[in-house]
A and B are shown apart, each in its own frame.
Chain A
Amino acid sequence: MGANGHYESFPWKHIIGFLLSLVLTFAALWVALSSGLPLKAVIVIIVLFAIIQASLQLFLFMHVNESDSGKVQTFNMVYSFFIAVVVVAGSIWVMQFVL
């Protein structure tokens, strides 16, 4: 289903996105609370799961790359996430020397 007039008769994309999101949510919960992995590994894995789940929302639910401005929209979101990573990681990095 896209801006080019092709319609699906069953919302497969949404159902796959929803099931994968559920799996990722429970997997992240298990990794964090029951897996017994070292802290650093837990953080890397759950952040990775979050990024994958956010991408599922953007591509399968929000159709970020559909329509004529799909490329612009996708680049806009990728760039905003880059800004977010710089702000968050940069703040943590700088402030660990202060606090």
Chain B
Amino acid sequence: MPLEYRTQESRLNILGFWIFLGAEVALFATLFATYLVLFQRTGSGPTAAELFEVKDVLIETLLLLTSSFTCGLAIFEMRRGRMSGLIAWLLVTLLLGVGFITVEIREFIHYVHEGATMQTSAFLSSFFVLVGTHGAHVSVGIGWMILIIIQLLQRGFTPKTARKVFIVSLYWHFLDVVWIFIFTLVYLLGMVI
């Protein structure tokens, strides 16, 4: 049995985190619903098709998707008991996450400079709330993962640290699950309609 499942407390923590992720799905569902109802209400502001650029979106998507993959490799290394591999893949994941959030912030600044702010239209209010909530989650994930790496370096592999690494990895993969739907329902749909 992998280290993170060895104590009953850890098993319950992991199950509890899955239930939290279910609640997160419900949270993002309300934001998606708001966005999809309002995204054609552009008022005097730009439409989604005028605003979105394929290149930026594709870069963000590839960064986050790759980071989800490297985060999976980190857990793979942890289960083989390789601390150096685990830390290395977590650092790569962090770097890709920082890259994602940098491109996203630059995208938002670019929109604001084009006069597309949160106050411009119902489309942009709901857009910034939905995509911004996801971006805030990624930022929290970056801070969380840094703290976990520090604990790993201080305490090494224990049932507790292994469980913490596993849970932060679930959180990180989940951020990519949400992004898949932002990519599809916000960006692709916005560029088609």
Mutual binders A and B: yes
Give the chain A neighbours of B191 by CB distance below 8 A: 32-33
> Chain A contact residues (Cβ within 8 angstroms of B): what range?
35 or more
Asked if B144 CB lies within 8 Å of chain A CBs, one says no
Is there an interface contact between A72 and B15, defined as CB atoms closer than 8 Å?
A: yes
Asked if B136 CB lies within 8 Å of chain A CBs, one says no
Instruction: Give the secondary structure class of B's interface.
Output: helix
Contact with A along B1-26 (1 / 0, CB 8 A): 11001000001001100110111011
Question: Knowing A50-B184, A69-B15, A84-B29 touch, does A14 contact B173 (C-beta < 8 A)?
Answer: no
Give the chain A neighbours of B68 by CB distance below 8 A: 57, 61
Give the B interface residue count (CB, 8 A).
52
Is there an interface contact between A67 and B11, defined as CB atoms closer than 8 Å?
A: yes
Give the chain B neighbours of A62 by CB distance below 8 A: 169-170, 173-174
Residues of A within 8 A of B (CB): 1, 3-5, 7-8, 11, 14, 17-18, 21-22, 25, 28-29, 32-33, 39, 42-43, 46-47, 49-50, 53-54, 57-58, 60-62, 64, 67-69, 72-73, 76-77, 79-81, 83-84, 87-88, 90-92, 95, 99
